[in-house]
Amino acid sequence: MLAEPLSSIRTLDCLALRGRDEDPALVLREGVMCYKQLRDRVAALAGWLRAQVPEPGARVATWASKGELTCLMPLAAARAGLVHVPVNPLLKRAQVAHILSDSETSLLIATRNRLDTLLEEDIPSYCKIESEGEVVARYPASTHLDDAIGKPDDLAAILYTSGSTGRPKGVMLTHANMWLGAESVARYLDLKADDKALAVLPLSFDYGQNQLFSHWFVGGSVVPLDYLTARDVVKAVSRHVITTLAAVPPLWVQLVELSWPAEAVAPLRRLTNSGGALTVALVRSLRAQFPAARLFPMYGLTEAFRSTFLDPALVDDHPTSMGRAIPYAEILVIDDDGQVAADNAEGELVHCGPLVARGYWQDAERTAERFRPAPAASEYGGTAVWSGDRVSRDAEGLLYFVGRRDAMIKSAGNRISPQEIEDAALATGLIAEAVALGVKDDRLGQAVELVVRARAGHSGQEDDFRSMLLKELPNFMQPRFIHWRDTLPLSANGKIDRVALAKELAV
């Protein structure tokens, strides 16, 4: 719930004003950018953008790896009264062409090798194209734009989903959404001015972008990293004396399988997870590997930024909990009758409050499906995000994930949670990653199939694994087939790509 008046909200570019002039703000390969330099560069880039795209509210897109431009653009576009559209650098030309057309982007700044992949018909006639390298070389000499022309309720960014379930859709975020998101996370993570984050997640991902904003909110610093292997992350944590490390479960699985030097572990104050639930086994591994670091399991959705976090003091006793609402969020569990669900009863997670996004860009139909009036029990009222996620709340107010409504497997009349099967698979100790899916079956409706990756040193134990599942799961939950993989496909945001696996199994 709100702890401060909404009048304290500023436009997003004001995040650059919060650090002391001489303190480090951004650690790039080219050198360290202090807060005074950050402010000067944001003002210069904003001035350059205004000259290129004078229309307030126009969309400007970036399609490049982490660097000076991609880190500064969210603040500079906000200063110039424009709407930033960050494009995941892993996306290909067809997806990028859709985003440019759908968002009606006026300016695309990208690396030259990425621009070279686009066809002439991929670029709208009204969209200017600029090379990242040329822009970085030119913009510092631009006339500074020192005052923002926008307001907190104005649109600041459109974040496109990965498109794993159809064409990417753009979530519209205001300055207020993003400012309050930065403040909320900075508060519950207890960030300080001497904190330093290693930004390994895509900056087109709200979780990844917030690494910048939450640390800049307190005057801290950020080290952007595009990594090839998990070992690159370990080396960077050690080299830069990192205090905050954020990741998604597939990356955490890889990181705990590595040997960490003491000098990398010691400075870490906090670990954060979102983009998927941590398993009990992974929680135990993280706690063992990083005993002094506070572990923050979190749940979020792009349509409302972040919804819950689990207090690190509760992690050991409640490792499967999603926790409680973050500051500025109201989280309700609503049953199928539209009422607040009883303790321990299943219902839909509904997010209310000022973190709720404005809807989907130019998509009234999908907006109406997901963004609906808040339940009568809401203290905020207004528009809420109906997540589609099924959760339960215990008597202490802790939330637990049950599964997505549209991901439930329906087999022979039984509603089966994929997570329950995945948890059982991981609990055997033989499996590092598991995905349970429902595959069309004429007799059962859907048959359960399981895709797994063995833990290091446990390959070749297929029969033992099947026997352990037979002991732990009822017959109707037993997988018809178990598919063993050396790797599982990942989406552009680093999450396990369930849709890709489902398509593979359906063939």
- Residue 445 CA to residue 438 CA, distance in Å, equals 9
Cβ contacts of 34 within 8 Å, gap of 6 or more: 19, 21, 22, 23, 24, 25
Question: Shortest CA distance to 240 belongs to which of 221, 218, 256?
Answer: 221
pLDDT for the residue numbered 461: 84
Dihedral over Cα of 74, 77, 81, 85: its sign: negative
Note the residue count of the chain: 507
pLDDT for the residue numbered 85: 98
Residue with tokens 């709208």: 124
Q: Which residue has the higher pLDDT, 359 or 499?
A: 359
Task: Identify the three-state secondary structure at position 95.
Answer: helix
pLDDT for the residue numbered 6: 59
Can you read off the two tokens belonging to residue 109?
A: 């700044």
Q: What is the CA radius of gyration of the chain?
A: 23
Give the start-to-end residue ranges of the domains of the chain: 408-506
| Average confidence (pLDDT) over 449-476 | 88
- Residue 34 CA to residue 46 CA, distance in Å, equals 18
Of 16-20, 163-167, 279-283, the one with minimum mean pLDDT is 163-167
Specify the CATH architecture of the domain 408-506: 2-Layer Sandwich (3.30)
- Residue 47 CA to residue 32 CA, distance in Å, equals 23
pLDDT for the residue numbered 506: 82
Can you read off the two tokens belonging to residue 4?
A: 């401060």
pLDDT for the residue numbered 352: 97
Instruction: Render pLDDT for 413-436 as a digit per residue (tens, 0 to 9).
Output: 666 878 879 988 998 999 999 999
What mean pLDDT value characterizes the chain?
Answer: 92
pLDDT for the residue numbered 248: 87
| Average confidence (pLDDT) over 42-59 | 97
Q: What is the pTM of this model?
A: 0.83
pLDDT band at 165 (very low <50, low <70, confident <90, very high): very low
User: Phi and psi for 145 in degrees, rounded to 5?
Assistant: -110, 105
Per DSSP, the residues of 114-147 read HHTT--GGGS-TT-EEEEHHHHHHHGGGSPP--S
* Residues 97 and 167 sit within 8 Å (Cβ to Cβ): no
pLDDT for the residue numbered 405: 65
- Given a cut of 70, whether residue 499 has pLDDT beyond it is yes
- Given a cut of 50, whether residue 3 has pLDDT beyond it is no
Per DSSP, the residues of 445-466 read EEEEEEEEEEPTT-TT-HHHHH
- Residue 393 CA to residue 398 CA, distance in Å, equals 5
Of 140-149, 181-190, 277-286, 490-499, the one with minimum mean pLDDT is 490-499
Can you read off the two tokens belonging to residue 499?
A: 């849709």
Q: What percent of the chain has pLDDT over 70?
A: 96
- Residue 481 CA to residue 256 CA, distance in Å, equals 28
C-alpha pair distances (Å), 129 with each of 89, 132, 382, 401, 404: 16, 10, 39, 44, 40
Cβ contacts of 345 within 8 Å, gap of 6 or more: 333, 335, 392
Can you read off the two tokens belonging to residue 411?
A: 């087999």
* Residues 26 and 33 sit within 8 Å (Cβ to Cβ): yes
Angle of helix 206-217 relative to helix 175-188, nearest 10 degrees, comes to 70
pLDDT band at 411 (very low <50, low <70, confident <90, very high): confident
Instruction: Render pLDDT for 204-217 as a digit per residue (tens, 0 to 9).
Output: 989 999 999 999 99
Instruction: Render pLDDT for 358-380 as a digit per residue (tens, 0 to 9).
Output: 999 999 998 999 999 999 999 99
Q: Select, from the ranges 279-283, 320-324, 405-409, the one with the highest average predicted confidence (pLDDT).
A: 320-324
pLDDT band at 2 (very low <50, low <70, confident <90, very high): very low
Instruction: Render pLDDT for 92-144 as a digit per residue (tens, 0 to 9).
Output: 888 899 999 999 999 999 999 999 999 999 999 999 999 999 999 999 999 99
User: Phi and psi for 126 in degrees, rounded to 5?
Assistant: -90, 0
Question: Shortest CA distance to 156 belongs to which of 44, 276, 76, 41?
Answer: 76
pLDDT for the residue numbered 406: 65
* Residues 153 and 343 sit within 8 Å (Cβ to Cβ): no
